[in-house]
Amino acid sequence: MRALLAVAFDLLREARSRKWFLGLFAAVSLTLLGLSLFLRLEVVDGALSASRLFGSLLSADAQPADVALRPVFLTVAFLGYVLGAVFLVVACADFAPGLLSPGRIEQLLSLPVARWQLLCGTYLGLLSLAALAGGYGALGVVVLFGVKTGVWEWRLLWSAAFGVECFAVLAAAMLATATVVRSAAVSAGAALVLFVLGAIASAQKPIGEAIETPALRTLFGLAVAPLPRLGTLCIFACQVLEDRALDGRAALRLSAGALVFAFALLAFAVHRFERKDF
Amino acid sequence: MDAALEVVGLTKAWPRGQPGRAFALDRLDLSVPRGSTYALVGPNGAGKTTFIKLLLGIARPTSGTVRLLGGSPDDARVRARLGYLPEKLHLPLAWTALEYLQSIARLKRATAPLLPLLERVGLPAHAHAALRTFSKGMRQRLGLAAALVGAPELLVLDEPTDGIDPLGRVEVRALLREERAKGTTVLLNSHLLAESEQVCDRVGILHLGRLVREGPLEALTRTAGYCLRFESPPAPELLTAHALTALDDGGYLFPGDDARALNATLAALLAKGCTLTALEPRSASLEQVLQEAVG
């Protein structure tokens, strides 16, 4: 466990010095700072009476603050899920190929660390990175609007958790790909293709209904059956913010399915890695 | 003899075959005694790096066994007792030298202070410098420091002086001698034969995946005859009478290892007024031994 954490810690330390992550941190921080300074929300008796950004009136319709802010939180959740996943895939694509690069992997394998620990530690590091990025952004938004309006939308952290879960699937795909082809571009490509396929799999029913040939429809169903429903996870990430109750059982089933898929990919990666000569 | 590493029948087939050669290593048997400094030499493609990778469990043998420090290289406890410097070390360039060593120390669970290691390799002033600012030689020195983390019992160094300037090489040699004095076993893979000769006490010559020569350096490089040096050149008839041959370096070759004959020749030459200034057993350089061994 100690070795696993040490590998994960090293990945975080490496990420700290990368421009991608410094840029992300700066962008999120500046956005939050900018909004905290220049977004004025006037709340009277729990109702949002006016909102101004840089002095310009955005809205003067009076409505309950939580209702008025819901579209904002939904937009944050949706964009955070989609853009966050894409950003993290691109920014993290070369961690696994870097781990496996000649001259580095030989040294790591000569240390008293098991091969599975190297790979799983890297995976843990990637997930920690996603959790830190998602948590920082979500918490920043919650605190920003909480302080300005008194609406503390803690459920945004749940949305971020769904985003991290989505990235867990994509990160496993990147690791598995890297054990086959040591290329950051191919790793990122594989993860992004899986992201799109995961969205398609989420729309299996309407797409299937649109396919007229029964054989093709069956084939499509079989092809997407094992894929994680990453699109539906995104919908859950948004629905968790709405007042109507989330179908907890469906969310749990889908989350478990996505995690099983991620662990299967990770198991494949470990299997390949354990038998690989360097 | 207590062996720090021992391989028996070690064979590694090429993954996809290679024209004219099926094996990178072919039934290699080798034993390196504890405390020795062993040089593995051979031409490019001889299988030296493959051997090291099999030794450390970085690659898996097709057949044969490897014993390292009395255990298997797959055993993390065994790997905790060795230090390795790969041929082409890849460093995380955004880290500092100290951060890099800390990372290695964490993975090795070594608790000893790391700054003394940087001092030993001549990098104390660069502890907090980013590795991207390091020259090739400095990176190599740092790799050497990383190999020394945890005071390993076995050091496996693949081209340790690659990229290091001549003065730096002297320091590295001194460091290897210090390690040998501490009882550390050193396995050295280097193309610099003269350098290997200066620090190693045993040598193995690999050629086409096979160990063609192996043994103590002195025994491998020893050739028949003695080199005699005189204050002034002996008369030509004396040289002819005692079968002495002039060498390029100003000495004279006495053929054979017969001590009685050598003494008789010396007595005759001294009686004729020659003054002997040096008498050395004749030896070949490692380079000559390698040339002769690999044809």
Q: Which residues of A touch B145 (CB under 8 A)?
A: none
pLDDT of residue B249: 84
Query: Phi/psi at A231 (nearest 5 deg)?
Result: -70, -45
Cα–chain-centroid distance for residue A271? Answer: 25
ipTM of the complex: 0.81
Number of domains in chain A: 1
Q: Which residues of A touch B107 (CB under 8 A)?
A: 3, 6-7, 108, 111-113
Element spanning B22, H or E: strand B21-33
pTM: 0.85
CA torsion B203→B208→B212→B215, rounded to 10°?
20
- C-alpha–C-alpha distance, residues A28 and A120, integer Å: 28
Q: What is the pLDDT of residues A146-158, one digit of tens each?
A: 988 888 999 999 9
- When mean pLDDT is compared across A84-88, A200-204, B239-243, B256-260, the lowest value belongs to B256-260
From the number of C-beta atoms within 10 Å of its C-beta (0-12, 13-18, 19+), residue A131 rates as: middle
pLDDT of residue B110: 92
pLDDT of residue B18: 61
User: pLDDT band at residue A221, thresholds of 50, 70 and 90?
Assistant: very high
Using CB atoms, pick whichever of A6, A109, A112 lies closest to residue B58: A109
pLDDT of residue A71: 87
CA angle B280, B286, B287 (to 5 degrees): 120
pLDDT of residue A201: 94
Structure tokens at A114: 């098991």
pLDDT of residue B16: 66
| Substitution target from A5, A13, A16, A107 for chain B, most B beta carbons within 10 A | A107
| pLDDT average, residue stretch A184-205 | 95
| Regions of chain B short of the pLDDT cut 70 | 1, 15-20
SS3 B38: strand
pLDDT of residue B146: 96
User: pLDDT band at residue A129, thresholds of 50, 70 and 90?
Assistant: very high
Instruction: List alpha helices for A150-242, DSSP H.
Output: 155-180, 184-202, 204-210, 214-224, 230-239
| pLDDT average, residue stretch A231-236 | 93
- C-alpha–C-alpha distance, residues A236 and A81, integer Å: 11
| pLDDT average, residue stretch A212-223 | 92
Instruction: List alpha helices for B57-114, DSSP H.
Output: 76-79, 97-108
Segment of A45-49, A56-60, B55-59, B221-225 carrying the highest mean pLDDT:
B55-59
Tell me: pLDDT of A272 over 80.
Answer: yes
Chain A residue at shortest CA distance from B55: A110
Structure tokens at B30: 């080798």
Q: Could you give all domains of chain B from N- to C-terminal order, each with its CATH number?
A: 3-219 (3.40.50.300), 223-294 (3.30.70)
Q: Are B262 and B254 in contact (CB under 8 A)?
A: yes
Tell me how close the Cα of A121 comes to any Cα of chain B, in angstroms: 12
B151 reaches A (C-beta below 8 A): no
SS3 A203: coil
A52 reaches B (C-beta below 8 A): no
Tell me: pLDDT of A45 over 90.
Answer: no
For residue A166, list its beta bridge partners. Answer: none
- Token pair 């990368």: residue: A18
pLDDT of residue A236: 92
| pLDDT average, residue stretch A162-174 | 97
pLDDT of residue B19: 62
DSSP state of B103: H
Domain that holds residue A235: 2-275
Using CB atoms, pick whichever of A2, A17, A278 lies closest to residue B58: A278
pLDDT of residue B211: 92
pLDDT of residue A228: 95
Element spanning B120, H or E: helix B115-120
Output the 3-class SS for A67-96.
HHHHHHHHHHHHHHHHHHHHHHHHHHCCHH
| pLDDT average, residue stretch A216-223 | 92
A6 reaches B (C-beta below 8 A): yes
Which residues of B, range 209-268, sit inside 8 Å of A by Cβ? none
pLDDT of residue B256: 84
Using CB atoms, pick whichever of A10, A102, A105 lies closest to residue B103: A10
